[in-house]
Structure 1
């Protein structure tokens, strides 16, 4: 059957001249790894670290063929690499594939969400501020993805509150996308296209287009600070006000500054219902610092339901001239020209839906009554005013501005204002807001002062710079 090899233990000091004896020596750990033996054979001292391969070459040179040497080298390399893999654990292929896989899944979720909210358009308009406005058939807008609205069309205009003037000025181009005369055809609604980078700025796909839960009016309200006028204690069926538009500075993309009307019902708990509309500067949501016209709604205190603008099924837009979420132009300037927008929100007495009107007679759309619980009946509070997010960067109060960034006592052309503040009563009448009260969470940072006169009716000035010597 071939030659039989007998393994024998070599005597000390005798060279290996046969393969069987070399094999025996290779298995003898004390002879192989003895530093004294290696030092005697090389005749000089060497650094131990990194000398393993050279030792093997010299030690077995007399009896190994090239093939056997190569095999040993590969075997030794494998052993060494196993040690190196322990030292470089963070670089292992297994660990490296986790993050790319996570990013890939996130991008897939983002693209799936974009396909859901960006509807096919019959016309596309490129705005000077970088926005893309899609003219979408009105019955194909995101609202009609809702099971209760699927297959339907927008409702006809409702009866407006008595005492409402619809003969005032109707601005033709108060948004940047219309500055060059572009319009959407009748039967379509202009929708600001959501881009991949818009969603990437959010914490997650599910958080995109939503507000954080922040309904408490104290220092534990998740960093949201307010200066508001409000009415409560009665049944309210709408509200109206003219809101001064500014472009406040926002310190970082995780903060925002807004001015709006809140229609509120339910307790300040998990059942809170709100309808909101106004203007806001939100770098996270829009990627810039333009003031933008916006809407919002929730029926569970900002937990799972609701969204900004048309970023979910909810608000039904009926207007082909106004793009919700698009930039407003012009805005007011310090000691210069002042610009405000008039908003009216009211409950249709016939169908119970909550409608939104811009300016004098421009119907924007409506929130279907079935979206809500308490607001199916009426509102129990109305608020008007400003809100900012204070993320306390670097452990200090934010320098994000509210309104114009100046305190209320500086007055007209310097401080921001709400004027002609009204509510809609049970009989669908617009009346001055009774017993309007004002409240600022942190008056050293943002404050508010109310008043009344014949020209402006009920009004207030509000706002502030945020971080300043008096603001903690």
Structure 2
């Protein structure tokens, strides 16, 4: 494997009213055919106008002034924003600060060689963000209009918490370690473009850094790739981050959609599409991610590939994670909305079961954790769990080339998963 992020082996909601010259203009609707009188139409139009105002107020907070804007081939606009003007520094406890000093990397972690950042589609333009800026995917009105709630735009649902119940609409196939104090995790994650069957479902593969109980005090840090038509408006796999300190209730968000994660690198746009991706029976690509707690300052850093320091989650954001993590988790998650009365056909990973193996099933490899003394070490007690194994499964293993690894995923709905 090259020392880059990839391994090569032997992807408009209808808004019924529009704002034109400060007037709300809506399609003509007959009160006889709609069952609504003029008063109701005016009330609904007023609701839509209020919603649009809330959206535009939110966009002003998310989209910061750009030094330069780059148009990606997939339609994204990437704004190059001065590093100290990014959304993170709107946080009351971070306002006026500068990014932290560079962290102390874990011992046993090799950094060097060619640092490859061109794994995202926006790099195909040949443009880059200047030093002193960071690339931020611009959020549009259309992005927010797709959301089920403007107030919760950019957040996961609280249903994500209950991973041990078959009643949840979130399904997982994961490897995990627990029972110790953990200060970081590393893995190489195979990247695919799984089918997501319905707009409000998603498919992701990620690392979870977890502390607290699976109740209201849950702290998590998360990073990986996801396909989310609701969040991004398409079916490309995208590099993402997430955090919460109260079980996804009122804190945290994806990417840079709220104040929290502080980005420091000018080459990677969080939320931008990944390219290339793996193909069934063909080339396989993965991204290597390391999340660890800097022993000097206590912040949780994210490194991509061979040495790219993407940024960090300040320790002040958290309660339990100010100290250490109590669980590290790796794997896939999907949403099963049962929109047509059956199990969803949204795919996890490659959309194929673990038993198909390399080139066909998706994988995580080289799973490691960081111990109390900032050493990167192999896992010693990896356990695997699939909460709906007839729909998505997982098989773990260990060898001299991949260390601790597992294959995982599946097609969702099938004869054994009705």
Q: Structure 1 residues 414 and 232 mapped into 2: Cα distance closer, same or farther (>3 Å)?
A: same
Following the alignment from structure 1 to structure 2, what is the Cα–Cα distance between the partners of residues 410 and 437?
A: 20
Following the alignment from structure 2 to structure 1, what is the Cα–Cα distance between the partners of residues 345 and 277?
A: 20
Whichever structure has more strand as a proportion of its residues is 2
Q: What does residue 118 of structure 1 align with? A: 63
Q: What does residue 377 of structure 1 align with? A: 323
Q: What does residue 259 of structure 2 align with? A: 313
Pairs within 5 Å for 1:211-360: 211-213=156-158, 214-220=160-166, 222-360=168-306
Superposed displacement of residue 169, structure 1: 4.5
Pairs within 5 Å for 1:434-445: 434-445=380-391
Q: What does residue 146 of structure 1 align with? A: 91
Q: Extract unaligned runs of 5+ from structure 1.
A: 1-85
Where does structure 1 differ by over 3 angstroms across 4 or more consecutive aligned residues? Answer: 86-91, 218-222
Following the alignment from structure 2 to structure 1, what is the Cα–Cα distance between the partners of residues 377 and 310?
A: 22
Following the alignment from structure 1 to structure 2, what is the Cα–Cα distance between the partners of residues 438 and 219?
A: 16
Whichever structure has more helix as a proportion of its residues is 1
Superposed displacement of residue 350, structure 1: 1.3
Q: CA RMSD of the aligned region, Å?
A: 1.5
Q: What does residue 56 of structure 1 align with? A: none
1:201 pairs with 2:143: no
Superposed displacement of residue 372, structure 1: 0.5
Q: Structure 1 residues 87 and 432 mapped into 2: Cα distance closer, same or farther (>3 Å)?
A: closer
Q: Give 3-state SS (helix, strand or coil) of 2:274's partner.
A: coil
Following the alignment from structure 1 to structure 2, what is the Cα–Cα distance between the partners of residues 226 and 176?
A: 28
Superposed displacement of residue 219, structure 1: 3.9
Following the alignment from structure 2 to structure 1, what is the Cα–Cα distance between the partners of residues 90 and 164?
A: 37
Q: What does residue 394 of structure 1 align with? A: 340
Q: 1:235-272, CA deviations, whole angstroms, 9 ceiling, x for partnerless residues?
A: 00000000000000000110000000000000010000
Superposed displacement of residue 440, structure 1: 0.2
Superposed displacement of residue 146, structure 1: 0.6
Q: 1:340-398, CA deviations, whole angstroms, 9 ceiling, x for partnerless residues?
A: 00000000101110000000110000000010000000000000000000001211000
Superposed displacement of residue 435, structure 1: 0.2
Q: Structure 1 residues 395 and 148 mapped into 2: Cα distance closer, same or farther (>3 Å)?
A: same
Higher relative contact order (CA 8 A, sep 6+): 2
Does the CA-based 8 Å contact 1:169-1:359 persist in structure 2?
no
Superposed displacement of residue 164, structure 1: 0.3
Following the alignment from structure 1 to structure 2, what is the Cα–Cα distance between the partners of residues 89 and 464?
A: 44
Q: What does residue 131 of structure 1 align with? A: 76
Superposed displacement of residue 93, structure 1: 1.9
Following the alignment from structure 1 to structure 2, what is the Cα–Cα distance between the partners of residues 423 and 368?
A: 20
Following the alignment from structure 1 to structure 2, what is the Cα–Cα distance between the partners of residues 211 and 423?
A: 25
Q: Structure 1 residues 258 and 221 mapped into 2: Cα distance closer, same or farther (>3 Å)?
A: farther
So what's the TM-score if we normalise by structure 2? 0.91
Q: What does residue 35 of structure 1 align with? A: none
Does the CA-based 8 Å contact 1:143-1:315 persist in structure 2?
yes
Return the match for 2:311 from 346, 365, 377.
365
Does the CA-based 8 Å contact 1:405-1:464 persist in structure 2?
yes
Superposed displacement of residue 91, structure 1: 3.9
Q: 1:155-214, CA deviations, whole angstroms, 9 ceiling, x for partnerless residues?
A: 121100000011254224100001132100000000000000000000121111000112
Structure with larger Rg: 1
Return the match for 1:175 from 120, 127, 132.
120
Following the alignment from structure 1 to structure 2, what is the Cα–Cα distance between the partners of residues 89 and 127?
A: 42
Following the alignment from structure 2 to structure 1, what is the Cα–Cα distance between the partners of residues 382 and 145?
A: 41
Q: What does residue 8 of structure 2 align with? A: none
Q: 1:42-85, CA deviations, whole angstroms, 9 ceiling, x for partnerless residues?
A: xxxxxxxxxxxxxxxxxxxxxxxxxxxxxxxxxxxxxxxxxxxx
Q: Structure 1 residues 113 and 386 mapped into 2: Cα distance closer, same or farther (>3 Å)?
A: same
Q: What does residue 367 of structure 2 align with? A: 421
Return the match for 2:108 from 149, 163, 168.
163
